[in-house]
Amino acid sequence: MREWHRYTPEFKKKAVERLRGCTNVEALARELKVSRGILYLWRDKAEARERAKRPGPVVDTPAIAALKKEVVDLKVALADKSLEADFFRGALQRVGDRQRKSGNGGDRTSTPTSRRRR
């Protein structure tokens, strides 16, 4: 039966560093007098700690989610208004083109106005 050893964090860290560049894990394990499974366990724990230190995806709070939805809604409204403006700009351009072609360059039309003249 094997004797239990408590290894220092520095020993584990150096072992993991050597494992990363190692081509023969069995020889490294024999040299350090630990099992291959322990080396892999230490490596996995070290990688998990490194991943935990890295900033992950930010979970939105309800307030941020509401603001993002409002931004999307405003973008949609802006796109609708832009389409409307383009439509009316084109319609106004066509009316102006018709007036120029007919020679009616801003003269009074034959339709009565809504105000009565005296």
Which run of H or of E encompasses 64? helix 62-102
Per-residue pLDDT of 13-23, as tens digits, reads 999 999 988 88
Measured between alpha carbons, how far is 98 from 18 in angstroms, rounded to an integer? 83
- Residue among 6, 36, 33, 2 at smallest CA distance from 19: 36
Residue 112 to residue 102: CA distance in whole angstroms: 19
Does residue 112 carry a pLDDT above 80? no
pLDDT band at 3 (very low <50, low <70, confident <90, very high): low
pTM reported for the whole predicted model: 0.44
> 29 Cβ partners below 8 Å, 6+ apart?
35, 36, 38, 39
Identify whether the C-beta of residue 60 lies closer than 8 Å to the C-beta of residue 37. no
pLDDT tens-digit readout, 70-97:
999 999 999 999 999 999 999 999 999 9
